[in-house]
């Protein structure tokens, strides 16, 4: 008997990096192979004397780092795939705002990378491990956070952060042109292009930076820029492009040929001529590798050079993975804003929902993204105007009853992301009297964000997205039980909250897949995701919110759509007063 073998390195096995071998057994003439025999390893029987055995080996345990870039900080979590979370570290970075321009919001690439190095070293220290034990890295970021770059990926400006709305004129122009040209892909973005998204921000930058246009080479989402830089990639053609980022924010659609056609972009503005070709790279889902950690960045981060780095994604999408989401779950990632993430086995258009993208959350399912442009941001603004804090104003809110403030508050302080997709809207509160307090407004704001969330859920369900469970993820539900109860009451569904913080846990799961420790997202979730506690809806509050929601929904579409029909409003304030009196026990 003779035996021949060959080996491969970094072979993709279900998206993971692993070692593989192929062994060829050739038997002597007197021996024969039973073609119906069961083999312990995958085997191919070539003939009665020849069989090829395929072997693959992957780590049964790995120590990996998950990175989550939020709006104001970056969190790194080190996870042992058998023992769970070992430690976390956070480092902050500034957000540039302008008092005279509420649409302005930028951040520096240098601040991001400095904070990443600080957070990584703090995490390694808190986990009490050595950096060279980390076997893989994965990063999620906010989005659409866009940076224009020149040669060698040198930043030409700061990031246009996700909450930068300066490009609202450009977004309106893209929407108008898409409708005129009957661009099919705009329907997969909900029918309206947003000022929060990539092409509108890039066009705004090109219009307002004429002196830098000649040096412009390409633009990146933060998750792709971070991965390319850490991998030492300087050629845009070799850089990773996240299907999550490009599908949800840049109208990339594989079934429709990728990015929108050149003639459409030129019709929007001649400044976009040639941009399509400049947005090249390796478009991939997050079960693929962006590359491997470059030696210079390994030294800065205190890690080992050459470890795999996954193709990145947006923070909310991976937070949903970390929260344990499966098909049939909808996750409210509640933070500064709310991202609503779901997965479906089918791919269907959903009007007003800002993205239906195969592979954006789970590589083998269709990701659905919606959300509110401000949630925690509204709460913080209320506290700031009151000279207080959200924590202080929240004390005592558990004693409030549904609707008792008499206030009905729309959640448009930072525009509308879903389902109207209108950045020109502003905050609106009905029912004020002379005795209302900032605490009353905070309670009404929580109710208002819950009502808005229900509007979105109803739109998703109308178009075939199953909602079997609601999971409240993100940072705020971990510390605000009043919000969780209000959401359960307004949605009339049990709300599940992870029993521990899941920030950066989703990225750790993708890092573990890159390291070969897990074969699938589900396997990683089973090993690492925390259990949920459940908040049940209260029937009495649910009845009150059912009436208030009818008013909210009417106002939402009546005030939010430019072409809406007239609505009767004379009954609204008396109804709010009646509900408030009943809530205070004076009805």
Q: Residues 156-167: pLDDT tens digits?
A: 999 999 989 999
| 47 pLDDT above the threshold of 70 | no
Name the phi and psi angles at 451, rounded to 5.
-60, -45
**What are the CA-CA distances from residue 209 to residues 161, 166, 198, 212, 273 (Å)?**
17, 14, 16, 6, 16
Q: Residues 111-143: pLDDT tens digits?
A: 999 999 999 999 999 999 999 999 999 999 998
CB–CB of 32/22 below 8 Å?
no
Return the higher-pLDDT residue of 203 and 422.
Answer: 203
Q: Residues 393-407: pLDDT tens digits?
A: 999 999 999 999 999
The pTM of the full predicted model, rounded to 2 decimals, is 0.84
Domain definitions of the chain by residue range: 2-57, 63-315, 325-501+538-587
Least-confidence region, from 48-57, 179-188, 526-535, 561-570: 48-57
Question: DSSP letters of 24-44?
Answer: EEE--TT----TTPPPSS-EE
Domains 63-315 and 325-501+538-587 share a fold: yes
**What are the CA-CA distances from residue 66 to residues 59, 106, 121, 333, 526 (Å)?**
18, 24, 13, 18, 17
Round the average pLDDT of the chain to a whole number and report it.
Answer: 90
Q: Residues 341-397: pLDDT tens digits?
A: 999 898 888 888 878 999 999 999 999 999 998 999 999 999 999 999 999 999 999
Q: What is the C-alpha end-to-end distance of the chain, expressed in Å? A: 92
Question: DSSP letters of 205-222?
Answer: HHHH-GGGGGG--EEEEH
Residue whose C-alpha is closest to residue 202's, from 176, 232, 229, 174: 174
- The whole-number pLDDT of residue 352 equals 85
Confirm or reject CATH 3.40.50.300 for domain 325-501+538-587, answering yes or no.
no
CATH number for domain 63-315, candidates 3.30.420.40, 2.40.128.20, 1.20.1050.10, 3.40.50.9100: 3.30.420.40
């Amino acid at each position: 008997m003779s035996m021949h073998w060959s080996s491969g390195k970094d072979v993709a096995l279900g998206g993971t990096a692993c070692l593989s071998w192929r062994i060829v057994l050739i038997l002597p003439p007197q021996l024969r192979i039973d073609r119906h025999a069961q083999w312990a390893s995958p085997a191919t029987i070539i003939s009665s004397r020849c069989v090829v055995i395929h072997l693959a080996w992957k780590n049964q345990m790995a120590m990996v780092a998950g990175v989550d870039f939020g709006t104001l900080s970056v969190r790194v979590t080190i996870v042992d795939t058998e023992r769970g979370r070992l430690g976390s570290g956070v480092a902050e970075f500034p957000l540039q705002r302008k008092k005279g321009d509420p649409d302005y919001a930028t951040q520096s690439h240098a601040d991001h990378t400095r904070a990443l190095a600080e957070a990584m070293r703090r995490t390694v220290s808190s986990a009490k491990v050595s950096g060279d034990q980390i076997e893989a890295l994965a990063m999620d970021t906010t989005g659409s956070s866009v940076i224009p770059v020149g040669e060698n990926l040198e930043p030409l400006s700061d990031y246009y952060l996700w909450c930068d709305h300066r490009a609202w004129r450009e977004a309106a122009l893209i929407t108008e042109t898409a409708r005129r040209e009957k661009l099919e892909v705009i329907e997969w973005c909900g029918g309206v292009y947003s000022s929060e998204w990539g092409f509108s921000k890039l066009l705004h930058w090109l219009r307002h930076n004429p002196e830098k246009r000649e040096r412009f080479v390409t633009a990146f989402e933060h998750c792709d820029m971070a991965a390319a830089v850490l991998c030492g990639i300087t050629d845009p053609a070799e850089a990773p492009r996240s299907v999550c980022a490009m599908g949800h924010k840049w109208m990339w659609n594989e079934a429709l040929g990728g990015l929108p056609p050149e003639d459409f972009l030129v019709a929007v503005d001649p400044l976009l001529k040639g941009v399509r070709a400049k947005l090249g790279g390796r478009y991939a889902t997050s079960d693929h590798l962006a590359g491997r950690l470059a030696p210079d960045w390994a030294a800065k981060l205190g890690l080992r050079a050459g470890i795999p780095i996954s193709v990145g994604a947006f923070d909310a999408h991976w937070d949903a993975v970390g929260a344990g989401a499966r098909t049939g779950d909808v996750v409210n990632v509640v933070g500064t804003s709310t991202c609503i993430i779901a997965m479906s086995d089918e791919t269907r258009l959903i009007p007003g929902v800002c993205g239906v993208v195969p592979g954006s959350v789970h590589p083998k399912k269709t990701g659905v993204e919606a959300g509110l442009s401000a949630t925690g941001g509204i709460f913080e603004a209320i506290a700031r105007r009151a000279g207080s804090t959200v924590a202080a104003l929240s004390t005592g809110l558990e004693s409030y009853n549904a609707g008792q403030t008499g206030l009905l508050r729309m959640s448009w302080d930072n525009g509308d992301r879903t389902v109207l997709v209108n950045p020109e809207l502003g905050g609106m509160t009905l029912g004020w009297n002379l005795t209302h307090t900032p605490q009353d407004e905070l309670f009404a704001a929580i109710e208002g964000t819950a009502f808005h969330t229900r509007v979105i859920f109803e739109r998703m369900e109308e178009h075939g997205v199953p909602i079997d469970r609601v999971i409240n993820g993100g940072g705020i539900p971990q510390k605000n039980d009043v919000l969780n109860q209000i959401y359960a009451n307004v949605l009339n569904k049990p709300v599940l909250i992870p029993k521990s913080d899941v920030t950066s846990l989703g990225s750790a799961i993708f890092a573990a897949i890159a390291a070969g420790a897990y074969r699938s997202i589900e396997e990683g979730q089973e090993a690492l995701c925390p259990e949920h506690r459940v908040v049940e809806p209260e029937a009495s509050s649910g009845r009150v919110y059912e009436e208030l929601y009818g008013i909210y929904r009417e106002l939402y579409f009546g005030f939010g759509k430019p072409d809406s029909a007239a609505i009767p409003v004379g009954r609204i304030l008396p109804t709010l007063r009646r509900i408030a009196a009943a809530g205070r026990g004076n009805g």
